[in-house]
Chains A and B, each alone.
Chain A
Amino acid sequence: MLAFNEDYGNNDTDNTEFTLPPAGSSHNQWKILIYDAPCRSIISPLLSVSQLRRRGVTLHLLLHSDREAIPDVPAVYFVCPTRENLARIAQDCGKRLYGRVHLNFVTKLDRELMEEFAKLVVQTGSLDLVASVHDQYLDYVCLERHLFSLHKPNSYVSYNGSGATEQMIEQTMTDIAYGLFSVVATLGQIPVIRCPKVRLPLFRKCRDSSILFSDTYSTLFSVNSF
């Protein structure tokens, strides 16, 4: 049901079809894949090197590494939308390392960042290189057909720790919601969402007891009340 592999095909430049023409032909041309570390962990369980090759990917490189110029070959970027990453991509474009450039972001690219990036690209006069920009909503790691993970380390501590502030918890929950949104977007179907309600007596109880924990829990529940 979660046919991640097939959806993933969208990420490549021009082959959304599942039966791929032989690599190197006009419909499935050779290309370079450039990713950052989080995106590498998304791709690696899905496509092996040989599978990537079948999709026309000759080289796969990390964004923040020294890469040689390969003009004429299109490059597919698959990265997180961070300021640092965008600056690096703009720098690549400025140096005209590759032919046309296709940008794929793992999750939603904020407008502010996009404008900043656009400015950088225009400044270096390489706007003509950017062929496409996509939000892929693939902010999760799919390990099996029925198993996925958002890859958020220390996730239990991040909202149960006594050091977690209201703001941090809010941020964590937003991140998780974004990740789940990616999953839902891949599914293409709108789910019905069920989750536990927080029982109020419980909340009162923990607010009244131990000082150490009351802070975090009461904020967690009062803000959420799920």
Chain B
Amino acid sequence: MVARKLNKMIAEHPTLLRNKGGGSRPLLVILDRNADLITPFQHASTYQALIDDLLTHKANRVEFVVTQDAGGKRPKQIPKKFDLDPDEDPFYNAHKFQPFPEAIESNGVELQEVKTREQEVRSKAVGGGGETSIMPDPMANAANDLATAVDSLPALLDQKKQLEMHTSILQAVMNEVAARDVPQFYELESSLATGSYKNDLGQAKKDVIALAGDPSKGNVEDKIRLVMVFCLATAAKSADIDEVTQAMQKGVESMEGVDRVAREKVQVGIKAVQYLKQLRSMHMIPSMADMMTTEVDSSAGAGLSSFMAKATTQATGFLAKATDRVSSLLGKIHKHHATRVVENLCEMKPGTEDEDFLYLDPKVKGEVDVAKLRTMTRSPVREVITFMIGGGCYAEYQNLQMVATDRRSVSYGSTELIDASQFLAQLGQLG
């Protein structure tokens, strides 16, 4: 519907059509959230997605509370606020899509580098031409050194400031990750989603109940999300889902300091599960088993595990502990629904969405027969815009970048950017 409306709008727009952009045209893929409800609920493992999931993150601004002097008599709560610039900030730009431990490591390394260089510059500025005395013209050389050193100092300090900002964000994320046992949820959820349990539903149920029912693991929402993923990703019977939901409820009840808010959240969660059950009964949810074929990037996997060993030796202080706990965040990288659809469309693979998706071209009246089109040679796709109706999330955005290459850029948009709790609240309204 949206596609047709848009098609008409473009076709009827007086000036836009006349604009003859040379080269290949972008591909706009419009998808419905209903085709993949799992992704917004799954826990994430990459830096940016974790920021969005665990901290307050809105319009590129991240907010969190730091508890200072935690062991002391008067722990202080200090709210922090940072503006992130994903395009200009070199560290963020380079590491936002990376697994979280990798971001921690790079942060440590880069910060160390900057500090060393700062030291060098400062010592030069102070010490004058100490080492340069063997040079033919020590004075001139020293002056030169000094000038360049002083010039580079402000930039260096800026860089340092930026990296330190990321250190504190990383630390805040880390605290949440550790407090909520995110890696455990992440692991179980992704093995559910990738169909590792396909032939062993009983085991899947047992594992989910064990984690959701354990009052020491995760918060209320983490548990609900796990149940949602179980409900979406497996062919479990309604009775099984009820059983899991009850276990989750029990787990929450026996958590420390359950209050009204937590109970309300559980109610919302149960309603959301109800909604999913209704969808299931109408076969509105595609069978997830074949939706999420794992495509393990073997090279990445190997690279990551060897890197882990390195990271633990290099990281210091809290980060060393951190890498230990999040090591399980690394592992299989699988392609989400949207990513696979986009890949199939871009590469025009036979027997995939490329054959049965609608093909609309505002320059052509009516529908284009894809079958006919497939017999012709089509120019490769250089630009893709993926648009998700019904809400998108950072995890999906990051996952889509797997399809991006040097010669193909992938943009991502959605009706709104939601995190798991917002999406949960929406589904809760429907149940």
Q: List residues of A whose CB falls within 8 A of some B CB.
A: 1-2, 41, 44-45, 48, 140-141, 143-157, 159-162, 170, 173-174, 176-181, 183-185, 187-197, 202, 205-206, 209-210, 212-213, 217, 220, 223-224, 226
8 Å CB contact of B33 from A45, A154, A156, A189: A156
Question: B416 contacts which of A150, A184, A217 (Cβ < 8 Å)?
Answer: A150
B41 proximity list for chain A (CB < 8 A): none
Contact (Cβ within 8 A) B1 A224: yes
Interface size of B in residues (CB-CB distance below 8 Å): 69
The interface centre, meaning the residue of A157, A179, A190 with most chain B CB atoms within 10 A of its CB, is A190
Contact B29 A202 (CB under 8 A): no
Which residues on the A side are within 8 Å of B417 (C-beta)? 143, 149
Contacts of A226 in B (CB 8 A): 1, 3-4, 358
B3–A193 touching, CB < 8 Å: yes
Considering only CB atoms, which chain A residue lies closest to B360 in the complex? A193
The answer on a CB contact under 8 Å between B430 and A160 is: yes
A154: nearest chain-B partner, CB-CB: B426
The reply to whether A193 and B32 form a contact with Cβ atoms under 8 Å apart is no
28 intermolecular pairs with C-beta atoms under 8 Å apart: A1-B383, A150-B416, A155-B414, A156-B33, A156-B423, A160-B430, A161-B430, A170-B1, A180-B2, A180-B6, A184-B10, A187-B26, A188-B21, A189-B21, A190-B25, A191-B28, A192-B27, A193-B3, A193-B7, A194-B28, A194-B29, A194-B359, A196-B353, A196-B357, A202-B284, A206-B284, A220-B1, A224-B1
Query: When chains A and B are docked, how far (Å) is the Cα of A159 from the Cα of B415?
Result: 12
A202-B86 Cα distance, complex, nearest whole Å: 41
Which of B26, B83, B430 sits near A189, CB closer than 8 Å?
Answer: B26
CB-defined contacts of A141 to chain B, threshold 8 Å: 59
B residues 337-384 in Cβ contact with A at 8 Å:
345, 353, 356-363, 383
Partner of B361, one of A44, A149, A178, A193: A193
B-side contacts of A217, CB under 8 Å: 282, 284
Q: Which residues of A contact B423 (CB under 8 A)?
A: 156
Q: Is the CB of B59 within 8 A of A45?
A: yes
Decide: A191 and B1 in contact? CB cutoff 8 A. no
Q: A-facing mask of B6-35, CB < 8 A → 1, else 0?
A: 110110010011010100011111111111
- If A143-B60, A147-B413, A194-B357 touch, whether A189 touches B345 (CB-CB below 8 Å) is no
User: How many residue pairs at the A-B interface have CB separations less than 8 Å?
Assistant: 201
Give the CA-CA distance A226 to B367 in the complex, in Å: 11
Complex partner residue of B35 from A154, A196, A206, CB under 8 angstroms: A196
The stretch that binds A, out of B103-111, B141-149, B389-397, is B389-397
Q: Which residues of chain B (382-431) have a CB below 8 Å from chain A?
A: 383, 385, 387, 389-392, 397, 401, 409-418, 423, 426-427, 429-430
Dominant secondary structure of chain A at its interface with chain B: mixed
Which of B5, B19, B391, B392 has the largest count of A CB atoms less than 10 A from its CB? Answer: B5
Q: Say whether B299 faces chain A, with CB atoms less than 8 Å apart.
A: no
Q: Are A189 and B25 in contact (CB under 8 A)?
A: yes
Question: With an 8 A cutoff between CB atoms, is B278 at the interface?
Answer: yes
Chain A to chain B: the 3 pairs with minimum beta-carbon distance, closest first? A155-B415, A224-B1, A177-B5
Q: A146-B412, A147-B413 are in contact. Are A195 and B31 (CB under 8 A)?
A: yes
B281: interface (CB < 8 Å): yes
Known: A1-B383, A160-B390. A194 touches B30 (CB 8 A): yes
Query: CB distance B2 to A191 under 8 Å?
Result: no
Q: Does B87 contact A (CB under 8 A)?
A: yes
Shortest C-beta distance, B129 to chain A (Å), equals: 38
* Closest Cβ neighbor of B382 among chain A residues: A1
Are A149 and B360 in contact, with the CB atoms below 8 A? no
The reply to whether A194 and B27 contact each other, CB–CB distance below 8 Å, is: yes
A157 B429 Cβ-Cβ under 8 A: yes
Instruction: Say yes or no: A183 contacts B363, CB within 8 Å.
Output: no
Residues of A near B6 (CB, < 8 A) are 177, 180-181, 184, 193
B283 within 8 Å of A (CB atoms): yes
Closest to A152 in B: B415
Query: How long is the Cα–Cα vector from A187 to B28 in the complex, in angstroms?
Result: 11
* Contacts A48-B83, A156-B418, A157-B429 supplied; 7 other A-B pairs, CB < 8 Å: A1-B411, A147-B397, A156-B33, A189-B383, A193-B359, A194-B28, A196-B357
Q: Give A9 to B278 CA distance when docked, in angstroms.
A: 48
Residues in B whose Cβ lies below 8 Å from that of A184: 6, 10, 16, 28
Task: Provide the bound-state CA to CA distance between A157 and B391, in Å.
Answer: 10
Q: How far is the CA of A85 from the CA of B83 in the complex (A)?
A: 30
Which of A148, A173, A209 meets B411, CB within 8 Å? A148
- A160–B362 touching, CB < 8 Å: no
| Contact B7–A196 (Cβ < 8 Å) | no
Given the interface contacts A157-B429, A177-B9, A189-B26, does A147 sit within 8 Å of B278 by beta carbon? Answer: no
B307 to chain A, nearest CB (A): 26
A172 to chain B, nearest CB (A): 9
What's the Cα separation between A146 and B403 when bound, in Å?
13
Q: Are B390 and A156 in contact (CB under 8 A)?
A: yes
Contact across chains for B278 and A210 when beta carbons are under 8 A apart: yes
In the complex the two chains form, is B357's CB within 8 Å of A197's CB? yes
User: How distant is the Cα of A149 from the Cα of B386 in the complex, in angstroms?
Assistant: 11
Residues of A with C-beta under 8 A to B363: 190
Known: A155-B389, A193-B361, A213-B282. A146 touches B2 (CB 8 A): no
Give Cα A209 to B423, complex, Å. 26
| Contact between B2 and A173, CB atoms less than 8 A apart | yes
In angstroms, how far is the closest chain A Cβ from the Cβ of B228? 14
